[in-house]
Amino acid sequence: MTGTILHLLTRLSEAGDDAILSGDLAAPFFGAAFDRLLAKRIIVEQAPLADWEVCDACECGLPCRPIRKAGDAFRAECPLDRQQDVDLTEADLRVFRISGEALASAMGAAAGFGAAPKLATEKVWRLGDTPSGRAVFLALEPAALTGDGIIVSLRQAAQGSDITILAPQLSAEAARRLDDAGFHLIETLAVLVPASKGLGVAIDVAALAPVPLVPTLRVRRATAEVQWDGRSVILSRQIFPVFERLLEKALSRDQVASQSHVEGTTAREAKDLIRELRDAFKAAGFTDAESKSLIATVRNRGYRLGVPASEVVVEG
């Protein structure tokens, strides 16, 4: 069994108001921790199932199969083919509704925020503030972050603080909108780590802030030199054109360089060129996280420099 029950609930909660935990998925987690979730009403047990889905391609005409007790077990019988009967346990019949508000409270507690989360806008909670003053929001379903007024609403709720959003994986367009607004977006499941206390997970508050960047990225074309974070990198004449492609896009309206745009410097694949470029920065003393924050991957679109155009200085 991988992950925790809160990992599972977080993934299932992406369905929004229809978020349901079935008994067969819940069964491996039954025990004291599961009972605590029930007590805190993070999950709420519903009436047990009274019917079951029909067989695939069945011609019985029934909308569903009734569940009948068979000794100490249960059975969903097919009226046309007994071999298609499904044997069920009592656990299979249990159904639980997931409470978004209570799950948000559990996430806030996992991050060490003392106060209860506040609803910032529909289905988006403000969990609390990091020690550095960054406002942390949680959206359990992608649709909560796609409305026209979401950026304004979150800025008003943050009251001038920098913003981090914990959310499911979003579409490239939705993620780009939030990134362009200056929000730091993190996939919720990526920061949940197992813990021995509480409800079994914790969130490292330090992971909720972006890797800090030095205000200025200085590029000297004549020597293929890049200065960043107090360190200097001399790129080879083979890889510097790749960096120039990213630089060109960083200074334009569309700041993302597509794979084909990166590959225009050579016949090699973009992923290999980007890896070699990042390796050059790591060889100069940057960490893997720092190199990936400067040479950032934009899911399903390409790559971009992680520095705003206003903070880039280019010399001949």
User: Residue 201 above 80 pLDDT?
Assistant: yes
pLDDT at 229: 75
Give the Cα separation of 284 and 250 in Å (integer). Answer: 22
The candidate with the shortest Cα–Cα distance to 158, out of 178, 135, 132, is 135
Q: How many residues does the chain have?
A: 316
User: Residue 163 above 60 pLDDT?
Assistant: yes
- The region of weakest confidence among 30-39, 109-118, 196-205 is 196-205
| DSSP per residue, 55-114 | PTT--S--SSEEEEEETTEEEE--SS-GGG-EEE-TGGG-EEEE-HHHHHHHHHHHTT--
pLDDT at 219: 93
With vertex at residue 298, the alpha carbon angle to CA 305 and CA 162, rounded to the nearest 5 degrees, is 70
Which phi and psi (to 5°) does residue 3 adopt? 75, -175
Percent of the chain with pLDDT over 70: 97
**Helix axis angle, 240-250 to 270-283, nearest 10°:** 100
Query: How high is the mean pLDDT of the chain?
Result: 88
pLDDT at 228: 85
Average pLDDT value for residue range 161-167: 93
The candidate with the shortest Cα–Cα distance to 138, out of 154, 156, 159, is 154
pLDDT at 17: 81
Give the Cα separation of 255 and 309 in Å (integer). Answer: 9
Q: DSSP assignment, residue 121?
A: E
Check: CB of residue 43 under 8 Å from CB of residue 37.
Answer: yes
- Which one-letter amino acid corresponds to residue 210? P
pLDDT at 3: 66
Question: Which residues fall within 8 angstroms of residue 67, CB to CB, at 6 or more apart?
Answer: 49, 50, 51, 52, 74, 75, 76, 88, 93
User: Residue 128 above 90 pLDDT?
Assistant: yes
Give the Cα separation of 210 and 303 in Å (integer). Answer: 17
Domains and CATH numbers, the chain: 5-98 (no CATH), 100-208 (no CATH), 217-315 (1.10.10.10)
> Residue 136 — very low, low, confident or very high, per pLDDT cuts 50/70/90?
very high
pLDDT in tens, 27-75: 999 988 899 999 999 999 999 888 887 777 777 767 788 888 877 778 8
- Bridge partners of 228, per DSSP, are 231
Question: Which residues fall within 8 angstroms of residue 147, CB to CB, at 6 or more apart?
Answer: 121, 122
* pTM of the shown model: 0.63
**Helix axis angle, 32-39 to 5-12, nearest 10°:** 50
Structure tokens at 35: 């009972």
Average pLDDT value for residue range 150-176: 92
